[in-house]
Structures are given as structure tokens and as C-alpha cells.
Structure 1
Amino acid sequence: MKKVYFTLLTIFLMSLAAKAQSYQKTQLGLKAVINATVVEIQFYSPQIVRVIKYPEKDNFQKKSLSVIKNPEKTRFSIDKKADKILLKTDALQVILNSNTGSVSFASHTGKALLNEKESGTVFTDFNDTGSKTYTVTQSFILDKKESVYGLGILQNGKMSQRNQKVHMVQNNTWDFVTFFQSDKGYGLFWDNYSPTDFSDNPEETSFKSEVGDGVDYYFMGGGNADGVIANMRGLTGQVPMFPKWTFGFWQSRERYKSQNETVEVVKKYRDLGVPLDGIIQDWQYWGDNYHWNGMSFLNPEFSKPQQMVDDIHNLNAHLIISIWSSFGPKTPQFQELKEKNMLMDFQTWPQSGKDVWPPDMNFPSGVQVYDPYNPEARDIYWKYLNKGLFSFGIDGWWMDSTEPDHLDFKPKDFDNKTFLGSFRKVRNAFPLMAVGGVYDHQREVTSDKRVFILTRSAFAGQQRYGANTWSGDVNSSWEMLRNQIPAGLNFSLCGIPYWNSDIGGFFAGAYNRGGNAGSGAKNPAYQELYVRWLQFGAFTPMMRSHGTDVPREIYQFGKKGEPIYDAIEKSINLRYTLLPYIYSNAWKITNGQSSMMRALMMDFEDDKVKDMNSEYLFGQSILVAPVINAQYTPETIVKTNEDTGWDKKDTSDKPKTLAVDFTQKKSKKVYLPAGAIWYDFWTNNKYNGGQEIEQETAIDKIPLFVKAGSIIPIGPKVQYVNEKKWDDLEIRIYEGADGEFTLYEDEGDNYNYEKGKYATITFKWNDSKKTVTVSKQKGSFSGMLKERKFKVVKASSKTGMSDTASEQIDKVISYNGNEVSIKL
């Protein structure tokens, strides 16, 4: 009998051991079945690993909408010790617990990075319009003092996204990306497109998605924020170069009501000598709401569209135009898409056929959103866009409502069928598909004109589609201005570098007086807010003024010689003088995985900047500390959104007219990160990092600082980007550390750079020897300068920005493309 018991025990223990070791090595990693759950670990590179989990009884088949990287051949080893299966590459360690199925991640040296929570994988049965699937949850354990960043454009004012819950469904002003990165040097992309909850509390950090056939996420190392971003872009797509002219100043409003008005704005800027590169035509050029987004100039006020485009081009400006993700019932697009069952049925903007607020639902518009998940629907969209607008030579696309607008939400709306399943299943990827459809089609048509898309929403991978995302219809308040800084920084930390906001806020009606529409431009309370927002906007990837209620053109605010007008003009001119720096930084994004707006934690190991939401680096040299509190007027509390903002009724709590002296000097506190010496951009006074200082401000000046060791090229004063060549640049040297800067140039508005037709010149500063070396020029392109001069200026308190260039010059270098060194 003892022998029988012993035999049974042996068999039982052997079966347990076999179960515990039940895994198979695959080409990409391993596959195991643990507690009736399949766990797959797949290396996409030495630094990127994919984790898939699903119930053993099911199959998991998925083609990612965001991930375009094919797994590269990666050397890895597998070693089993007790209940741990260790997979190692040259960069990562991945540990699978063979008892619980939980996965942990560590650096190649064994430094712990992230752990799944034991029993943190949950599958809950879910019926998705007849398809049996799951609600999926994966929980992780983060260190208590760890900071995480990302999740998209969030209007919560926070830099680190710890200790909160975010319900992630795309909307007008919150754009969600199911990705975060940690200050420990790793990132995590949750590859799911359904409504998702990100939750972080002291017990766990989790993603929970309403629909999913399994858990599917990518863990990536990187060592620092730039390394993580490089891996995220390697996984989901690289960033193309934008046209050079897009980095100038853009004027817009809701809306110019005739082609004559649109052209006259450009003419006025030219007459005033104020730089401008772009004008934007908003909605209703197609006529009424029943012809919504017809992509045709049916409005009689736009009867000669080719002349409008030609007039703008002859003024050396560019035009982008509003297009939407929905169509009115009287458009041919609607009819063709409807016949092919490619429209979705839920309430979207505009709800009424009458252009009134609130919507008069006695006259429903019948506007419906199209299905961009369907490749044929994307073909149809482009067919009409190409014929109706692109054929006129329009320069780019303002893709509004790419989230899309989803009004009067009802749960059954998610039951709408798309090409890829229920709308519920793919909801958050809508902007990725809509924007990608336009980019891909234009690239197929021509390589002579770079795609430029301004869009209101985004998802992971959208950086590959030539799109700059703006933060939606935010209201015109100081609180909202403050929120834009961490919103843009966290979005950039998702690997999507191009971002902007409506300068001055979209809904500004609270500043108009006595029912006088547009009077807000003369209201000091709005003037101050607008100027500060514009100064911030000068240091974002796109400088674009836009909104409703209060026209934003510079001449609305006064005239030359008046403080507000002069402050606006000064900011625009400053943007243009920094164009060589900005365009070269754009190349660092495309070629070097960099980011233009940089959270301070990216570049400084300083605990005081880990959660700083009020300052940032623009490029890797300029510290921007925008004025984000009212200094001359009381702060106006404005509570509007995309619904209430359209209500034009007068209210009694509007800001009062004040007597304000905008010539007074003010001040604000600025923190200078440790680990660097800092130069005041305006005066060149020097400060040690690691301290907070009281910095003087004025209505025309915000605190700007330059890091020692920086080299900044200063461009000529121009009225538009391409007015003058960069043949006489000023090169500013900020001593105190060695430095390097690469000036990038190309043809400006085609894709020849992808064929190697571009040139770079690298400047190096040796701080101990006080020498500047200009390298041999690399590369060439059509129209490249053969000879030029560089006026070298060593920053000192005698050479602030207010001085004339002739007083600042230390050396003039005649440059013909060969290396030259000078001593300052």
C-alpha cells in the first residue's frame, strides 16, 4: 500500500513540475500556459518586449493599428530557476513567474523597473454586439516615489500622472494615448483602442479596457526619456519633416466669412510689416449644414476659390482649410458612403440644419460620421478631398473633430459597426485612422509637397502622419493657459512631438462688453491673457492664434506704439529670429528622436523638476518660464466647454473694464534647474542652477534663459519664412560649458530630404580653449548656399537681445563649406 501511495505522490509531483515548466521557446521569446492562461513574451528588439495574455481556450489574433515595427532578430537567453523563468537580452531582463503568470521587468544589470501585480490579470466576459470577448485588466506595482508621464493631452494641470483615475475616451479637449513612461527610464504602451480606465493608487497601477480578446502591451527600456521616446517611435513610426513655412506665425479665427475677408487679413499683415506665414479658413465655405464638409466652395462668398488661393500665395503666405470626419446628407460623399454602409449613426456636430445655438432639433442636420477604419471609405474621402480642394493648391488640412464629436452619448452608440468590428472596440484609434488616411493618400499623389495636418485628436503612432495636434476648444482663462503647459509636455512624452493650442483660448465671449461682439480685444483683462498666451505659443511647435467671440488679428488690439500691439509684434518677430534654431530642432526630431517641448525631467537630475508643470525647455537650450498668472488685471474665472461656450447670452459676471498701465514692470519666481549655468536671454546675466530667483517681467517680456554651453543661430528679420536666405546668420555662444549645435537646411517643402538631399553644418564650442569650430558642410541640395557669413557673438551682459547686432559681433566668419576655427 505504501508503494502505491509513493507512486501516486511521485506522479502528482511530476505532473506539478511539468506544469510549472510548461513553456516552449519561440523565435521571439517564449509561450507558456499558466493557470489556464496563455502567456506570450515576444522581443521586438533588445529593448522592446511585447506581453500577450489570453484564456487558454481561446485564440488570439491581432493586427495592431499603432504598432508598425516588425520584430527584429534579437539574441536572448532563457534560464529557469525554481518558479522563475528569466529571459535576457543585452538590454533587458524579463522574469515570468511560472506559478502565477505575473511578469516583471529589469534592466540588463538586474535593476528592478516594473512588476505586474500578482493576480493582476483579469478577464471578464463581455458581449460586444454579439461577439464573445472580454473586459481586460492588467495591474502593475510602481515604486511609491516613482513619477510617470504621458497618457496624452490631459487638461488636469498635472505633470506626473500618479494618484488619479482617467477615463480614456477621446473628446474635444482631452486626447488619450494609452502610454506612460517613468522617471526610472522605461515606458509602457497598452495596445487597446476601446474605452479604457487608467488608474493609479498606492496599491496598484492599472489599465482596464472595455473590450479586448486579451491583454496586449509593450514594455520598453531606454534608460531615460529620450531613449523611451526613441523606442516608442521605433515601435509606432518615425516623424516626417514638416514644411519649413509651418514654423512661422499662423492667424485664424472662427471664422472668416468670405474669401475677400480671408485674403484681406493677409494683406493687412503685409501692410503692417508684421510676419505671417499662414492663414486658416474655418468651416461653412461649403454653405449650409446639410452640405456639411462638402469639400466644395458652395458658399457664394467663396465663388472664386482658385483666385483666393492664388492671392494668398502671391502674398507669400499659405492656406490650410477646415475638413471634418463627417458629412451632411446633401453631399455626394454622404450618398456614396451611405450606399456602401460606411457611415455611423450617432449624434455629432452640427446637430441642427440651422446655424443657431442651442441647436434647433426641429431641423435635424442629418450629419453623420464616416468609418475611417475602412480602407475603401478612406479612398472615397480622399477622392473628394483631392478633387474638391487639393486641386486648387491648398497647402494643408485642418482636420477638425477627429475624435470625433460624439454628442448626447448613448451606450448603444458603441454598437455601430465599423470595418474592424464594433465602434466600441476601436473607438480611441479613430483619429489615427482618419489622419493616416489623408497622409497616406497625399503621399501617394505627390512627393513635391509635404503633408501638413492640423488635427484636434490623436492616438499612439500618429506622429508618423505629418500631424500637429491642438488641444481643442479650450476656454479663455488663466487656469486653462496654465493647463496647456503640462498638457503639451505629457503629449510630447508619449513620443508625439508636434502640439499647439488656440492662442488666447477658443471661447472668449466672457471678455466682450455690453453685448458688443469682438470688444474683448480692447478689454485689458483679455489683452493681458492673450499676450501671455501668445508669448507661450511662440515657444510651442506651432504658433497659431485662433478662437471665437474675439477676433485675434494684431490690429484688433490697437496700433503700433501701444503696449499690447508692440508686445504681440515682438513675440511674433522673436519666433522668426529663432527659425534656424527651430527648424534644426525639427530635424533632430526626424533624424535623432528628439522632442521640441521638453519636460525638465528629461534633461536634469533634479528632484525639484520631476513634477514641474510651469517651465520647460524649448529645444535643448532655451528654458521657457511663461507668465501664467495675471499681473495687471484680476483673473477672470471662465467656465465654458464645447457645449456651453457657444451660448452667446450676456452674463452679469463678465470682467469689468479697468484702467491698466501696461508699461509697469512686474516680476515672477523662476526655478533654474541644477546642473547648469543659466543666462538670462534678454540681458545675458548669469545665474547658477539649483535656485529659485525673482525675475523681472514686462508685458512684452517673459522669463527666458539659455543653458551654458549652448550655441543658438539667430535668423534675419523677415515677413515670412522664406523671404531671406540664411546667408548672414548670427551665432550666439553661451560659454561656461562645451557645446555643439547642428544647423540643418533642405529644400523646405518636399520629401527630397528622404533621398539625402539636405545639408548640415555643425558648430562646436570648446570652453577651455574659447574656440569656435565650424565643421565642413555635409550633404547638398538644390539651391544650397555656397558661401555665407556667420557673425559670432559671445553672450555677455553687454550683448542682450535688445542691443543691435553690430554692437554684439565678436568675429565674422566667411564660410565656403570648409572647416574653420576661430578663437574668441
Structure 2
Amino acid sequence: MRNITYALSGLMFFTMIHQGSAQAQKAQFEKTATGVKVSFKNSAGSIDQDVYLDAITDKIIRVTAVPAGTGFPKQQRLVIVDSLHRQLKSFVAGSTDSTATIQTADLRAIVSLSSGKVEFYDLHGHAILKEAKRNSGSFTAGSYNGDAFYQVNQDFIVQPEEGIYGLGQHQNAVMNYNRGKQVTLLQYNTEIGIPFLLSTNNYGLLWHNYSITKAGDVRPLLPLNAFKLSSVEGEQGWLTATYMNRNTDSVYLSRPESIIDYGYLTDQHKFPKEIKLADTKVVYEGTLASPYAGKHVLHFKYSGYMKVWIDGQLVADRWRQSWNAGTFELEKDLEKDQPRRIRMEWIPDGSESYFTLNWQSPIPAARQNLFSFNSEAGDAIDYYFVHGASMDDVISGYRHLSGKAPIMPVWSFGFWQSRERYKTQAEIEQVATEFRKRKIPIDNIVQDWSYWSENDWGSQQFDLNRFPDPKAMVKKLHDQNLKIMISAWPKINEESRVYQEFKSNKWIYPRNIYDGRKDWIGKGYTSTFYDPFNQGARDAFWKLLDNNLFKIGIDAWWMDASEPDIHSNIDLDERKAVFQPSIGSSVRYYNAFPLQNAKGIYEGQRATDPNKRVFILTRSFFAGQQRYAAAAWSGDIASRWHDMKDQIAGGINFSMSGTPYWTMDAGGFLVENRFHKPNAVDLEEWRELNSRWYQYAAFLPLFRAHGQFPFREPYHIAPAEHPAYRSMLYAINLRYKLLAYNYSLAAKTFFEDYSMIRGLAMDFPLDKAGFDRNDQYLWGPSLLVSPVTEKVARSRKIHFPQGADWYDLYSGKKVSGGQDLLVDAPYERIPVYAKAGAIVPVGQELQYSTEKKQTVLDLYIYAGADGQFSLYEDEGDNYNYEKGKYSRIDIRYDNSTQTLLLADRKGEFEGMLHSRKFNIIFVSDRNAIGIDSPTKKSMAVSYHGKALQIKLK
């Protein structure tokens, strides 16, 4: 800490803020080494509490509130980096009669000495964020497995017009979480909980808690019978549930149901004993009326086919396999006491299936402007307030707290092919050969689970009957310029060869073994998960990976089921009972398993081979995990149009959680039976669906095709002459042509704490029309991406953000910003537009990322605004960039003079290009040129590392 002083100067501002307020009650004020502590005991205006303000940097202040006398929390800080340094230019702490304050060079934080509320202001006196007053519900004593804690709740007062983002990845298609949204921060297949919030008012909150947390409108959801229900016969108090044969519609039985709560395995007994779910369709009919007027949100959890009609209008049509139930929400404005007709048609998936329906009532007036965090377990209300000049600046503050995101290896920005699963060595080798034979560009092939012997889950060893020479297989792939990523579950079967070692050292969670719960492989095996909260267990797990996989050349790790997924459909109480980390109770640390799991792999590999970049793909993710070279994918989503659309908002909000590397299974994972042996119509839908998914995935940090049968290689989806095949090949080729652009974004992510996937509000915070757009995003600083997520759509509506003009990437046609337009979306392209002022390097087609050096780059310059871009290069596969071994060419465009400036190259590294050719392509309303234009007017310049100035025409 430098230049830290204590003074009372500058505090008249705070007194003026509170002029006219009632005289504050006496509170005990104390300066600390890094802030202030205010204690309340028997106060008329406050609960008994101690409130700490702790200055971390000029832009970050930690707030901690605990019940009086309990002391500062001692819970381990897994998210916060060990190397966190305080960076303060100046620091003032003091009090007046009514407030205690700390002031940094950027902001002021005030504690009311009457109520204990904390408020944040900039140095001009503008309010940024205010707490609501804590009350008796802020700390509720609880305990679990001998661990005493509090259920904690904190309400914040937010502005109705601000956009609120982040909070991880969720499948509800919600972009903006302000006003009436509830999101549960919970690790679950397809759901990722990250307790970081990002606001358009340029602040963030890192809620420092590891337990299951609700955020937003945290009021408990209401059951179905909180509505006034009426059956189809007009009887009051229930809906009519008709159980019928799904093939003939003959009725098995009809009964009243007023609560729909079949959420877990333990709820299956509630179904009628006379029916078999696997043969059944259930229709719920009647009316519902609310005692409230306003916006209602219906929350569904389901598996199988689900259709919902309200007043005769189809409002939902969904599908999910039973072992991985999905969720969705429906918003509906309802009038008080006015019945609305509802019909729900549910076709369960198999003998065990799931369906729950709950709802949120309209927000009461008293809670209209509140955003809350409510966590199951903690020692304190504990959060870091992060301020910034922009949302990027706020994310930079978050990464200061939780760690930087390393640059992923250059190969990871190519195309990946995966399948559930390659069952033999011959299969994976054949696929690799076919890609090279067909000249489909590819960098990485992925070996999914069950490459081990059936009873040896957890050994991390290949089944030599099916993979007779894994080392030779890896070498053969490497010789074809392919990397290989492999699935490494944190799960260990009781019959595995490594089980006894992990058990005897207490490196596993034993409860699942004692419960006798079996998995779904072969005859079924009892199994459990290792404990990554234990250093010895982390070391032992890495040793397995190192000895069996890393030493034979495996390049990257796929950490599946990292929630941990003890069993997808047991309820949360059962999961908590099984998951008992050595660090403390499962309730307290429920969400942190994936963080510690990634920590062990990252630290293990970097210690074993400091020169090879770590790459981890993980299904679950927590705050801080980006520092362990971890990327997330969105889990086992369904191969349906609605699931594709849901990924857009999920990926954007994941990125706006400060965690930059994200992707999803291009094509979706779970597949309906109709696509297994499709008729002609379904086959064409399957091909179109995959085409659209590839087009979207090409503009993400990672591009991986993966899923259940049918096989997902492009040539299995469609023949070479089919537009679907041409479309997928175009998307893959475009990915490689944009490699220089994408890899430069990765460098910007590390050096400048940038975010590649960007909500429209990040770059256009004044364009409120873009705050809620859940089907568009910005890819880096230049490209507006609008995926097509509707079957047979050949156009789609696009919002062009106000404040910039836009150029069609393919044709160069100009569109003015600040409007919504219906634009063409032909089968083989999704709409992508470049922003005025953009500088986009486009390279040659490649078969893999390092096939040849980028000696020639087309440099597209888009007129209409000043622009800048930094072209970054390094060795691509090691950590020498951390030592300064990289090069950067800063490129600027001056729109007023139409001049392009190429700066002196900065830096150097082994094997770098010393000279290259740039083809300058100037795009304007008078020179509409796109990447698909058959002829391109360009200006060729040779660059040798020295500054150039080029006048564009």
C-alpha cells in the first residue's frame, strides 16, 4: 500500500448528503489499517451489527457486515487471488456526526451511523449504488453437519433504467436481470452460478459467498395453488389432470391436481400408481386467476415434451431427455381475479420423468427497485464493490480480485470435432483421416468418456481392448497436425483400480458408496467423487492424469460433470449429504467444486511442464476459475431451435460475469428420436439446424461440434453437394480466416481484461433499446452477430445500435445505426455486420491454425468513424508471453483524413514474421465490398516493422 493517509478533510460533502435527516444514533466508529469499522449495539435505527469497509484499490471497496461481536469472518477466500495487492493512490478515512466514510482517488463509501446502510458515490457526489437497510432477516442462524453459519440476505437499491448482467450462465433466455427476475446461482448441468453482477451504471458486485444463492427478486416462488384454480368442469381449487395413452389418447384416469411438483426421483411416487409414465401423455386443463395484477412469471422444470397454451395461444413448445431436466420461464401480464384458460400437454420421457410449475407474483411497490442476494450459508454479508469508467473497466477490477484469464493456445481458436463418443482407437483415427482427406479444417479432436474399462471409471486409463496403443494413437493425431482433448471425470468407481488408494487417504466423498447409489454404466457401479478441496487429493488426481494421459501427449482436459454431478435427479438435500468437502460443510461450499477441480489440474500441469499452455474445458464454473485456463461450455443442451436461442443470452451473461472463455455444443447434445432415423422432412430440419448452429459457433471463443447420435461430423450430417455441408464448411473456413482477429482478442483479454463476447450495452451504454436484446451480441470491438434460431427463416429482425453505422460483412452494404430492420438471412449465412471504424484482419484459408504463417492479411477498414486495432502474435503454445515475448502492431484509422497508420512493431519472439504484406480494403458507402465480394479493390503494402502512413481512397 502506498501513500495511505488518514484525515477528516473532504467530508463536508457527506454531511450535506444527509442534511435534513434525523439525528443519527450513537454508533462506535473505529479506523482500521485499511478502512473503517462501525459497530451498532442496542441502536434505535439499526440491528446489532459490525460493518467493515475495506479499501482494496482506488476502485474496489470490500463491505462486510456481521452480527455484532462475532468478529471478522474467517472463511477461506477461494475466489480471491493469493497475490492480491492493494493499489491505492490516496486514501482517507473518517467520520462526521452522521456518517463514517472512506474515500479513494475514485470513489467514496459511506456508512450511516444511524442505520448501518452503505452507499457508494463518485467524487462528483453522484450516487452509484445504495444498500437497503439490513433488518432481522439479514442474518438467520443455521447449521449443517456441525457447521454453524447464517443464511444471509442483502437488498440493494438499483435504478429502474439500468441494465444488470452477469451471474453466470442460465437457460432462461433472460438478458437483463433488472426488475423482477429471479436467478438461482447453483452448479447444475446446463446451469452455471457465478456471483458477480455487472451494471450499465459502471459498477459490479462480487458477492463473496460459495453457497447456493438466489439473486434479483429473491422472494420465494409460489406453488400452482397460490392461483385461484378451476377445473374443466368448473370445480374450484384444482386443474383437471388427464392421464392417457400417448398413442391412442384413450384415457387411463383423470384426477384433480392443484400442485405440480414432480421435480426429483423422490417425487415419482406421487404419480398415479395405475399408470406407466413411459406410455403416458398428461393433459392439464382449466383456468387460473391471480389475486394480483401485473407481470407474473411462470417457472417450469420439465423433461419430455412440454407444450403450454394460455387462452388458446401456444406459448411454449419444449423437449428434454429425462435424465437432464430443463427449465424455462413464461412472462404474462394478468389482471386481478380474471380467469385465464391454461392447457399443458406433457409427454414424459421414460419411466422416470420430471415436471414442476411454480410462479412469481408481481413485485410489490416496496420492492420495485431492489436487487437482492440471498445465500444459504455464510459468516457474513460480504461483497466487493467494483467501480469503473466502463463495464470493461469494472470487469478488469473483478479480475484484479479473482485472477487474469491466460491466453489460450492458438490451436484452441480453430475448429474442434467431438462426438459422444469415439468408442475405439480405430474410430477416432478414421475420423481424423477423413477430415484431412476431405480438407475440412480442424485443430482438435475430442475423446469423450468411457475410453476406460467399464468397471474402471476414475483410473484415467484406456481400455486396451478398444484402444490398444493410446500413445501411438496420440502420435498419429499429432503427426496429422491435430491436438487431442480428453474427458477426465472427477468420479471414481468402487471397483476402479485407484479407489482403495483414494479411500484410504480420505480423498473421496464416501456417502454415495454407503448409500449404494449406482451409475448407469453396464450393470451399474457404485461410485463417488474425489475431493478437490483437499490438496493431497488434488495432487493425486493430477498424478493419475499425468502418468496415464499427459505423458503420452494429451493436449487438453475436458472436466465433465464438475458440479459435481453425483446424480442428475436426486434432490439438493441428498446432493449436499453426499458432497462433504474437507474444507467445511457442503452447504457452505456447494458452488466451489469446479473452481478447486480446475485449480488442481492447472497447477499440476504448470508444475509438470511449465512451457505447455494449459487448456481446461469444464461443464461447471465459479468466480475466479478463469485464472486456471478454464473455459466453460453450456452442458448437455437439447438439439432444438429454442435451446440454440437460449444459449445466446446464456453465453453473453457468462462473459459479462468476467469469465471470458465460453462455448456450447454446436448442434446441441440431446437428440429427439425423430432425428435418429429421420424421414425426409426431419432430415432437412436436422441439416438446417446444424448449419445455423455452426454459423453461430464460428463467432465464439471456442468452436466445437459435439453431441449424441446422429454422428456430428459435417460429412455425416449432409453430403458435400448439400447446402448444409457447404454452409458448415464455410463457417469453419471463416473461423480460420478470422484467426488473426480472434487471437488478437485473446491477447486483449489477457493484457487489458477484455471480454470477447459482448452484450450490446457494453459498447453502446446509451442505447437502451439494446439492453434487453437476448439474440444478438458483439464479437470483439468490430462485429455484430445475429444468429438465426428459427426453422426455415430466411430473414430476421436486427437491432442496429445507435451511435454507429454498420456494414454487412459479406457484401459491404451500409446500414445506419439506431434502428431495427428485417434483413436477409440466407441458408448459408447468418447476419454479421462490421461497425463503422472497425479494422478487421482477414487471413488465408488454413487446414489448421499453424499450417502456415500469416504472411498476407487482408485488412478491412470500415469508413465512418475513427478506429483502432492491435494485431497480436506470439509463439502460440507456451507461456513466454508472460515474459514479454510477443509482438504487437497497433493500427489506427483517422476517419477525418481517411488515413491508416501502422505503428512501429513492438516486441519480438522466436520465429516471428519480420515482414508481411497487407492488402488494404477500404469499405465505405461508395465502395461496398464484403468478404464474399467476387472482386475487391485493394491497396497492397509491404510492412517491415516500421511505421507506415497510408492515405485511403
Confirm or deny a common fold (TM above 0.5).
Answer: yes
Asked if 1:191 is matched to 2:354, the reply is no
Q: Which of 40, 45, 60 lines up with 1:34 in the alignment? A: 40
Which residue does 1:126 correspond to in 2? 142
CA, structure 1 residues 425+205, in 2 after alignment: closer, same or farther (shift >3 Å)? same
Higher mean C-alpha deviation, range 326-335 or range 377-386 = 326-335
**Residues 129-178 of structure 1, C-alpha deviation per residue, up to 9 Å, x if partnerless?**
12322211112222222221111001110100121222322100100011
* Secondary structure of 2:892's aligned partner: strand
Shift of 1:410: 5.5
Is 1:579 aligned with 2:595?
Answer: no
Q: What is the distance in 1 between the residues matched to 2:511 and 2:690?
A: 36
Matched to 1:610, the amino acid is F
Which 5+ residue runs of structure 2 have no aligned equivalent?
Answer: 1-21, 42-47, 218-362
Q: Which residue of 2 aligns with 1:109?
A: 124
Q: Which residue of 1 aligns with 2:74?
A: 61
Aligned 1:253-264 pairs, distance under 5 A = 253-264=419-430
Alpha carbons of 1:410 and 1:453: their partners in 2 closer, same or farther (altered >3 Å)? closer
**RMSD across aligned positions (CA):** 2.1
C-alpha distance in structure 1 between counterparts of 2:517 and 2:743, whole Å: 41
Confirm or deny that 1:355 pairs with 2:521. yes
Corresponding letter in the other structure for 2:161 = K
Alpha-carbon distance, 1:353 to partner: 5.8
Correspondence list, 1:654-665, <5 A: none
Following the alignment from structure 1 to structure 2, what is the Cα–Cα distance between the partners of residues 260 and 521?
A: 33
> CA separation of 1:47/1:520 partners in 2, compared to 1, >3 Å: closer, same or farther?
farther
Q: Distance in 2 between matches of 1:788 and 1:489?
A: 35
Deviations 1:734-767 (A, max 9, x none): 1111211111000010001111110011122122
Q: Secondary structure at the match of 1:779?
A: coil
Alignment of 1:730-749 (within 5 A): 730-749=858-877
Q: Which residue identity does 1:469 align to in structure 2? A: A
**Structure 1 Cα separation of the partners of residues 69 and 147 of structure 2:** 16
1:196-595 correspondence runs (5 A): 196-200=213-217, 201=363, 203=367, 204-288=370-454, 290-345=455-510, 352=518, 355=521, 363-407=523-567, 408-409=570-571, 411=573, 413-415=575-577, 416-512=579-675, 516=677, 523-595=683-755
Q: Which runs of 5+ in 1 are unaligned?
A: 1-15, 357-362, 633-665
- Give the deviation of 1:682 after TM superposition: 1.0
Letter in 1 for 2:29: Y
How far apart, in 1, do the equivalents of 2:892 and 2:851 lie? 28
Partner AA of 1:800 in structure 2:
G
Q: Partner of 1:174 in structure 2? A: 191
Contact 1:521–1:550 under 8 Å retained in 2: no
Task: For 1:606, give the aligned amino acid.
Answer: D
Native 8 Å contact 1:521 1:557 kept in 2: no
Which of the numbers 912, 915, 918 marks the counterpart of 1:790?
918
3-state SS of paired residue (2:665):
coil
Q: Is residue 679–residue 686 contact of structure 1 (8 Å, CA) maintained in 2?
A: yes
Distance 1:267 1:148 in 2: 47
Query: Deviations along 1:222-258, whole A, 9 cap, x unmatched?
Result: 1321111010011100010100000000000100111
**Distance (Å, rounded) in 2 between the aligned partners of 1:400 and 1:551:** 20
Aligned to 1:640: none
TM-score (norm 1): 0.90
Q: 1:770 to 1:37 in 2, by over 3 A?
A: same
Counterpart amino acid of 1:98?
Answer: L
Give, in whole Å, the separation in 1 of the partners of 2:501 and 2:115.
Answer: 53
Q: Percent identity?
A: 39
Matched, 1:153 2:191: no
Letter of the structure 1 residue corresponding to residue 165 of structure 2: Y
Given that 1:521 and 1:552 are in contact with CA atoms closer than 8 Å, whether structure 2 keeps it comes out as: no
- Contact in 2 for aligned 1:733/1:792 (Cα 8 Å): yes
Name the CA shift for 1:207/1:520 in 2 (closer, same or farther; >3 Å): farther
Q: Which amino acid aligns with 2:689?
A: L
In structure 2, how many angstroms separate the alpha carbons of the residues matched to 1:102 and 1:206? 14
**Number of residue pairs the alignment of both structures matches:** 764
- 1:45 and 2:57 correspond: yes
The amino acid across from 2:583 in the alignment is L
Quote the residue 2:360 is aligned against. none
How far apart, CA to CA, are the structure 2 residues paired with 1:714 and 1:511? 40
1:92 and 1:425 map into 2 onto residues whose CA distance is 32
Structure 1 residue 795: Cα displacement = 1.9
Q: How far apart, in 1, do the equivalents of 2:850 and 2:536 lie?
A: 38
Q: Is the 8 A contact 2:813 2:929 kept in 1?
A: no
In structure 2, C-alpha distance between the alignment counterparts of 1:809 and 1:559, rounded to whole Å: 35
The Cα shift of 1:674 comes to 0.6
Indicate whether 1:619 and 2:747 are aligned: no
1:23 equivalent to 2:29? Answer yes
SS at match of 2:543: helix
Are 1:758 and 2:770 matched, yes or no? no
Q: Provide the rounded CA distance (Å) in 2 between the counterparts of 1:398 and 1:77.
A: 48
Shift of 1:364: 4.3
Task: Please state how far the C-alpha of 1:87 moved relative to its aligned partner.
Answer: 2.1
Shift of 1:667: 1.7
Q: 1:715-726 maps to which residues of 2 (within 5 A)?
A: 715-726=843-854
The 8 Å contact of residues 88 and 104 in structure 2, kept in 1 or not, is answered as no
Q: 1:323 to 1:766 in 2, by over 3 A?
A: same
Q: State the shift of 1:406 in Å.
A: 3.2
Displacement of 1:350 in angstroms is 12
3-state secondary structure, aligned to 1:417:
coil
Residue 522 of structure 1 contacts residue 557 of structure 1 at CA under 8 Å; is this kept in 2? no
Instruction: Write the distance in 1 (CA, Å) between the matches of 2:50 and 2:714.
Output: 62
Contact 2:24 2:114 (C-alpha < 8 Å) held by counterparts: no
Distance 1:164 1:44 in 2: 31
Q: How far apart, CA to CA, are the structure 2 residues paired with 1:540 and 1:215?
A: 36
Please tell me whether the aligned partners of residues 147 and 584 of structure 2 are also in contact (alpha carbons under 8 angstroms).
Answer: no
- Pairwise CA distance, 1:792: 1.0
The structure 1 residue matched to 2:903, chosen from 742, 751, 775, is: 775
Are the counterparts in 2 of residues 478 and 628 from structure 1 also a CA contact under 8 Å? yes
Q: Which amino acid aligns with 1:763?
A: I
Secondary structure of 1:233's aligned partner:
helix
Q: Judging changes above 3 Å, is the alpha-carbon distance between structure 1 residues 613 and 816 closer, same or farther for their aligned structure 2 residues?
A: same
Structure 1 residues 301 and 695 mapped into 2: Cα distance closer, same or farther (>3 Å)? same
The verdict on how the C-alpha distance between 1:24 and 1:439 changes in structure 2, with shifts beyond 3 A counting, is same
Q: Which moved further from structure 2: 599-608 or 337-346? A: 337-346
> Quick one: structure 1 residues 760 and 511, their matched pair in 2 at CA, closer, same or farther if it must change by over 3 Å?
farther
SS in 2 for 1:698: coil
Question: Hey, what's the Cα distance between the residues in 2 that align with 1:198 and 1:44?
Answer: 25
* Distance change in 2, residues 1:62/1:347 (3 Å): closer
Question: Per-residue deviation at 1:484?
Answer: 0.5
- For the 8 Å contact 1:342–1:418, the answer to whether it is kept is no
Partner of 2:589: helix, strand, or coil? helix
Instruction: Compute the displacement of 1:600 (Å).
Output: 0.5
1:729 has 2:889 as partner: no
More helix by share: 1
The question of whether the paired residues in 2 share the 8 Å contact of 1:347 and 1:409 is answered with: no
Question: What is the alpha-carbon distance in structure 2 between the residues aligned to residue 802 and residue 174 of structure 1?
Answer: 38
Query: Kindly tell me: are residues 736 and 488 of structure 1, through their superposed partners in 2, closer, same or farther at Cα, counting changes over 3 Å?
Result: same
Please say if residues 138 and 208 of structure 1, whose CA atoms lie closer than 8 Å, have aligned partners that are also in contact: yes
Instruction: Report the TM-score, using the length of structure 2 for normalisation.
Output: 0.78
